[in-house]
Each structure stands twice: as C-alpha cells, then as structure tokens.
C-alpha cells in the first residue's frame, strides 16, 4: 500500500511511507470499481491494498482516473511503475475454492468463496476436536491518569466522551498502547479538522509520528479477541479513505465517534482461536481498519497458550462504501518480536516481517451465520516462507492448512464454520 502524508487518499492505502521510495505527492489517484454480488469482504492490506470478498456472481472491474474510465492495460502499467495510487481496492489475484458447508438436515451444501484483490487480506479435512472456550472479558490496566480524567475498569467500562484528555491513551477503557509505532501509543493519527455529522472528510492529513491533537481522529488497539468500536459512520473519507478512532475536540478531549457504542472495544462473533505449539513466540498482527490499514494491532502468542482472534460480524461491523468488511491478520515467523512484526517496516527483517510477513489470515462471519477462515500467502508483496506449519482443529467444512511452505490449495484456502461452531489455528514446528 502506498503511504500518505499531508494529502487525502483512499481506504485502500496504508501508512508505509518509508516503504515506498516514490514521491507520493506526484502520484495520481486511480479508482478501481469492482462490481459483484458480494458478502462479507475481508480487507487485506499489502503494498497497494486487498479486498477479500465472498462472491456469488461475476466480477466486473473498472479503472477510473479523474472521473474518466481508462483501460486495464494502461491502469496496470501505471500501478506497476508507481504513477498511480490505487484508491479503495486493487488488482484481483486470488480466488479460493468455496468450502462445502452443510446448513440443512439433508446435508445440502451451501457456502461462498473469498475473492481477494491485490492490496489487503482471507487444514486437513474437517476435524472433531473441540476448541477451547473463549477467555473471560479482559481488562487493560492503566498508568496514572490526570486528576481530570475519570478512571475506568477496562473493556467493560463505558467511555466518558469529552472527559479524557487527548494526550492520554484510554487504557482504563480497554485501549492497548502500541508504543513502537511512533504515534505516542496510538495506531493511526489522522488530522481531519472539524468533524461534522454526515459530511465527508476531504482534507485528511496523516502526520508521520507525534501525538493525538485537536481536530484529529486517533485510532487505537484492543486486547486479543476484541475490536475497536469507534469510527464516524456518516463522515468517512471523501475519496475512499477508511477513518476510525476517537475524535480530539477543540477543548483537547476525546469524543466517541460512534456514540451508539459506549465501550471502546467489543468482542466479535468469537469461535476462532490461535494456539502456539512452537518453542518461541509468533506474532499475529491485525490491520488497523478502519484507519491507515497498517498491520499494527498486536497479538503476541507464546508457547503453550491459546488466544482468541477477533471475528467481526459483517452486518454490524465497519462498512466500507456500504460493503461489509472483516478482519485481516499478518502471520510473522516464529521468534520475531511483536515490535518488529506489528509494524509496516521491520528494521531487523525487512523482507519477511511486518508488511512483508509470509502469510495472511482472514476471518469474518456473514449474515447467514457462517464464519469464513482463510490462510493464504502474502503475495505479491512477500515471497517469504513461514517457518512453521498451520493446522486447523475444530468443527468446520473444507480443507485448509499450511505445511512446509505449501498451502492446501495453490494460492491459499478457506474453511467455513457453522453458527455456534469453533476452530483453532494451531502453530506447529515445520
């Protein structure tokens, strides 16, 4: 994905400014329109951006520059040489086979498939081993807060809109600081100016570092199994930017941007877990979406432990231009620290961590109650090979695994989990 500083660009673009040597102010904004009968897209973020969707019909792709359609060949040449920045979505590269999912008493199949487009993110036969129950609601602890800031008790606390200073990461209300991102613990900072309900944001700037200030929307991480609740539903980016987080008002205090949700973090549908059976840590990093779409939301798995993955419900989670979205994770190699993994550029592993991590995981629950879980290579961004295997245990339909760098299907695979079921991604020695 292309980075952006001081200019308004699209949802399909992420924050990796230093990852792209080009002068981004000279790039033209190329819109890519995708028409399909889509459900539950899984947003994937790579050097440009990927949208993964469940599709049941034909897909039609159009490229639009300055309001005028241009042919596909010219568009792809411009993308390849850096002349164009793709807005919203980008080039299709992967279609996983649909899992067979029994939803009726006669065993009749139903299901869908993940359709991945080139710039964002989706084991053996169905197993009957049970996944562990989800952990109890967690609470994040906080450092001492200013006297003027009311104290909360973690993710279950209602956030006091307009009472917490913008200089303070609201850890008392479940937010998790991410200090290595250089945004004073926030995951994304966007200067938007005045936030007016129902008015699109068309002068978005993304500072490269710093803290949350007046006129900013400031995004944050949540604990494992939880996802942020805040984004201005009626005031998204005018040209496709995804915008999420709390708003810093003129008085320097944080306000809810989605007042109907008073807690900063909430669990999704549940039912999806990760178990580390390795000898070292393995960091799984979710994209900050809505936000700058960098893979900065941390989950650092340690040997012998099991963790929940946030599994968004498409009907109630963030919608990009009216289309439902789900969660995208980047799986990093065993032994890579969370600071080197959950970032755009890894100074220690520039070709195999962060945006260049070997493997992507996509997960989301659609309106029919089926959770789709995908594992696929982070192509074309990275050619790194994950240094451990991934198997799936639980109650599901389909076949999906990663063994010694080889996926169950050539370009990745997808399973379906019926409503009420569960599945665990198990990390094992290669």
Domain closes at, from 247, 267, 287: 267
pLDDT of residue 305: 98
The count of structural domains within the chain is: 2
Same domain, 213 and 289: no
Render pLDDT for 309-342 as a digit per residue (tens, 0 to 9): 999 998 899 999 999 998 999 999 999 999 999 9
Give the whole-angstrom CA distance, residue 293 versus residue 362.
14
pLDDT of residue 64: 58
Same domain, 308 and 389: yes
Tell me if 87 is assigned to some domain. Answer: no
Domain closes at, from 267, 293, 308: 267
pLDDT of residue 79: 58
Same domain, 317 and 409: yes
Q: Higher pLDDT residue, 153 or 223?
A: 223
Q: Average pLDDT for residues 15-41, to the nearest whole number? A: 29
Asked which of 145-149, 169-173, 227-231, 302-306 is least confident by mean pLDDT, the reply is 145-149
Domain closes at, from 267, 284, 318: 267
| Contact call for residues 273 and 132 (beta carbons, < 8 A) | yes
Render pLDDT for 213-269 as a digit per residue (tens, 0 to 9): 999 999 999 999 999 999 999 999 999 999 999 999 999 999 999 999 999 999 999
Tell me if 297 is assigned to some domain. Answer: yes
Q: Average pLDDT for residues 374-397, to the nearest whole number? A: 96
Same domain, 146 and 199: yes
């Amino acid at each position: 994905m292309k980075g952006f500083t001081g200019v308004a660009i699209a949802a399909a673009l992420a924050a990796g400014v230093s990852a792209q040597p080009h002068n981004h102010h000279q790039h033209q904004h190329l819109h890519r329109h995708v028409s399909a009968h889509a459900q539950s897209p899984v947003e994937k973020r790579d050097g440009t951006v990927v949208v993964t969707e469940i599709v049941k019909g034909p897909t039609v792709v159009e490229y639009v520059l300055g309001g005028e359609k241009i042919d596909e060949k010219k568009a792809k040449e411009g993308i390849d040489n850096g002349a164009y920045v793709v807005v919203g979505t980008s080039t299709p590269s992967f279609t996983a086979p649909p899992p067979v999912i029994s939803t009726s008493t006669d065993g009749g199949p139903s299901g869908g498939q993940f359709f991945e487009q080139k710039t964002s993110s989706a084991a053996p036969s169905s197993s009957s081993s049970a996944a562990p129950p989800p952990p109890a609601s967690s609470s994040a602890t906080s450092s001492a807060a200013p006297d003027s800031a009311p104290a909360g008790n973690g993710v279950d606390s209602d956030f006091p809109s307009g009472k917490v200073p913008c200089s303070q990461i609201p850890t008392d209300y479940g937010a998790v600081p991410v200090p290595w991102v250089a945004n004073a613990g926030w995951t994304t900072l966007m200067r938007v100016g005045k936030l007016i309900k129902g008015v699109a944001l068309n002068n978005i700037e993304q500072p490269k570092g710093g803290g949350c200030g007046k006129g900013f929307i400031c995004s944050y991480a949540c604990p494992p199994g939880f996802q942020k609740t805040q984004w201005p539903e009626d005031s998204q980016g005018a040209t496709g930017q995804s915008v999420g987080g709390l708003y810093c008002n003129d008085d320097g205090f944080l306000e809810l941007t989605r007042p109907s949700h008073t807690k900063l973090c909430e669990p999704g549908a549940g039912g999806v877990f990760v178990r580390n059976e390795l000898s070292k840590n393995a960091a799984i990093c979710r994209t900050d979406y809505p936000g700058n779409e960098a893979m900065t939301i941390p989950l650092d798995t340690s040997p012998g432990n099991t963790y929940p993955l946030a599994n968004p419900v498409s009907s109630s989670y963030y919608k990009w231009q009216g289309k439902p979205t789900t969660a995208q994770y980047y799986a990093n190699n065993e032994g890579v620290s969370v600071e080197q993994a959950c970032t755009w550029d890894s100074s220690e592993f520039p070709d195999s961590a962060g945006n260049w991590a070997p493997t992507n995981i996509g997960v989301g629950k659609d309106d029919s109650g089926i959770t789709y879980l995908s594992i696929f290579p982070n192509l074309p961004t990275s050619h790194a090979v994950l240094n451990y295997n991934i198997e799936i245990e639980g109650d599901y339909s389909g076949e999906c695994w990663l063994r010694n760098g080889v996926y169950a299907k050539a370009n990745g695979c997808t399973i379906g989990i019926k409503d009420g079921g569960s599945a665990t991604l198990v990390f094992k020695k290669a």
